[in-house]
Amino acid sequence: MKLNKNFKNLTDDYLFAEVSKRVQAYKTEFPNSDVISLGIGDVTQPLPLKIAEACKDAAVEMSTKIGLHGYGPYDGYEFLKNAVVDYYKARKVVIDPDEVFIGSGAKDALGDFLDLFDSDNTVMVPDPVYPAYVDANVMSGRKIVYVDANRENGFLPPPPKRGKADIIYICSPNNPTGAAYSVDQLKEWVDFALDQNAVIFYDAAYESFVSDGRAARSIFEVTGARDCAVEFCSFSKMAGFTGVRCGWTTIPLASPLNRMWLRRQSAKYNGTSYVVQRMAERALRGGLEDSVKTVDYYKTNAKLIMKTFDKLGIEYTGGVNAPYIWFYCGIKSWEFFDYLLKKARIVVTPGSGFGKNGEGWVRITSFNSTDRIDEAMRRFTPFWKEFIETREKLFHLL
C-alpha cells in the first residue's frame, strides 16, 4: 500500500477550515459573544417556496409505483438539461442539450474533471484564486504556474506574454475578488488558449450576480470559446442550493472532452437525485423570479457594505457583479482577521489564504441577513476608524 505522496505538498489546513477553527476557538473563550459571520460564502436565505414545493411533489411522486425513479441518466434528466438550454437561450447563448451534464455542484465537477487529464499538464491559475483549484492539482502532482492579479490590473489579469499552459482556470465573477471579465477581456484568454492548444476551465458559479452590462455571464458569449472552453455552473448561489447540491457542466459536442466526460461519469457517478433535479428545474422554470429575488437580496447587502466602505474611504473591488467585496487592510491578512474578530466580533476571510497577492487584502461576503449586515457595518465603522489611527503603532504595514 502506497499513499499519494502529493498530499504532503498541501497546506496543513484548507483555508475555510482554518477560519472555522479560529472562530470556534474564539467562541469557546467567549461563549456569550455575538459573532457575525461574513467569511465563508454560504447562503443564509431559505429556499424559495416554489422550489420547496417541487421537492415535495417529486418526493410524493417517488412514493408511487408509476412515479418511482431509480438510477437516473449519468448526464442528467432531459427535463433539466432542456431547462438549462433555455436558460442560456434567454441570454442569446446557443447550446445543445447533449452539451449539458448535470452533477452535484461546480466544485465537485471542477475537481472530478481533472480525471480526463494526464498529470503531465501545466496548470495556469490567477493569484489570488479560489484555493480548491490549486489543491485539486497539487493532489495530482501537476505543475502550477500563476498569473498575477493585483490592483494594477483590477484583479483581472490578461494572458501572460510568455509561458506555457495546458489547463487554464478562470473564475468570473471572481472568487475572492468579485471582479468580472468583459467579453473583450475574455476574448484575449480564448485566443491565448487556442494558441496554446489549452483548455479553459471557466467557473461561472456567480454569473447570476452580474449587474454590469459590460461583464460576461458565460464564456460561450466569446467567439472561439467553443473550441477551447468548458463551463462549470451551479445552483448553489443562484437558487440557494449549497445544502441541496446541484450544478451543470457545459462541454461543446465537437470537443473530445464531451464523450470522455460521459464515459467518466458512467464509471464513477450514478447521477444526481431525481428529486434534486426537479427542484433545479423549478429554479429555472416557474421559480426563476424567486431565485432572482434571492440574488437581489444579497446584492442589496453588498451595496450596504460598499456604501460603508465608500464613507470610510476603503479601497475595494467587487460587490457590483458578485456577493464578495475585496478590500485592502494594509497589514498581514491573518493579523487583521484576528484583530477584527477580537475587537468587533466580525468574521471575514484573510486574502493571503487565496495566494501571495492576497496578502494585505480581505474578502467579506454579503451572505447574511440584511439586519446582520447592518449590525456588522455599525460595528465596523468605529472599528475601522480606530484601526487606521493605531495601524502604524500596532502592526507592521505592508
Task: Please give the share of the chain, as a percent, with pLDDT higher than 70.
Answer: 100
Inform me whether the pLDDT recorded for 9 exceeds 90. yes
Q: What is the pLDDT of residue 380?
A: 98
Burial class from Cβ neighbours inside 10 Å (0-12, 13-18, 19+) for residue 352 reads buried
292-341 pLDDT per residue, tens: 999 999 999 999 999 999 999 999 999 999 999 999 999 999 999 999 99
| pLDDT over 90 (residue 205) | yes
CATH superfamily label, 5-47+289-383: Aspartate Aminotransferase, domain 1 (3.90.1150.10)
Is residue 279 over pLDDT 90?
yes
Q: In what order do the strands lie in the sheet with 361-365?
A: 316-318, 324-328, 361-365, 349-350
What are the strands of the beta sheet with 100-103, ordered from one edge?
100-103, 247-250, 229-234, 199-203, 167-171, 122-127, 143-148
Domain ranges across the chain: 5-47+289-383, 49-287
Distance CA(177)–CA(326), nearest Å, equals 5
CATH of 49-287, one of 3.40.640.10, 2.60.40.2470, 2.60.40.3880, 1.20.1050.10: 3.40.640.10
In eight-state DSSP terms, residue 372 is H
Using CB atoms within 10 Å of the CB of residue 256, give its burial: 0 to 12 exposed, 13 to 18 middle, 19+ buried: exposed
Tell me how far CA of residue 21 lies from CA of 15, 18, 24, 25, in angstroms: 10, 5, 5, 6
pLDDT of residue 398: 83
29 has pLDDT over 90: yes
State residue 68 phi and psi, 5-degree precision: -65, 135
Tell which residue, 122, 123, 189, has the closest CA to residue 153.
Answer: 189
Instruction: Report the alpha-carbon distance of residue 353 to residue 233 in Å, rounded.
Output: 23
pLDDT tens per residue across span 212-270? 889 999 999 999 999 999 999 999 999 999 999 999 999 999 999 999 999 999 999 99
pLDDT tens, residue by residue, 119-164: 999 999 999 999 999 999 999 999 999 999 999 999 999 999 988 9
Whether the CB-CB separation of 258 and 97 falls below 8 Å is answered with no
Contact 325, 363 (CB under 8 A): yes
H or E segment to which residue 309 belongs: helix 288-312
Mean pLDDT calculated for residue range 37-54: 94
Residues 152 and 132 sit within 8 Å (Cβ to Cβ): no
Over residues 155-203, the pLDDT tens digits come to 999 999 988 999 999 999 999 999 999 999 999 999 999 999 999 999 9
Asked if residue 295 lies in contact with residue 236, where contact means CB atoms within 8 angstroms, the answer is no
Q: pLDDT at residue 12 above 80?
A: no
Helices (H) and strands (E) in the chain, counts: 11, 13
Dist. CA 177–CA 358, nearest whole Å: 9
69-76 mean pLDDT: 97
The grid cell for 275 is 428529486
CB 89 within 8 A of CB 82: no
pLDDT of residue 56 exceeding 90, the answer is: yes
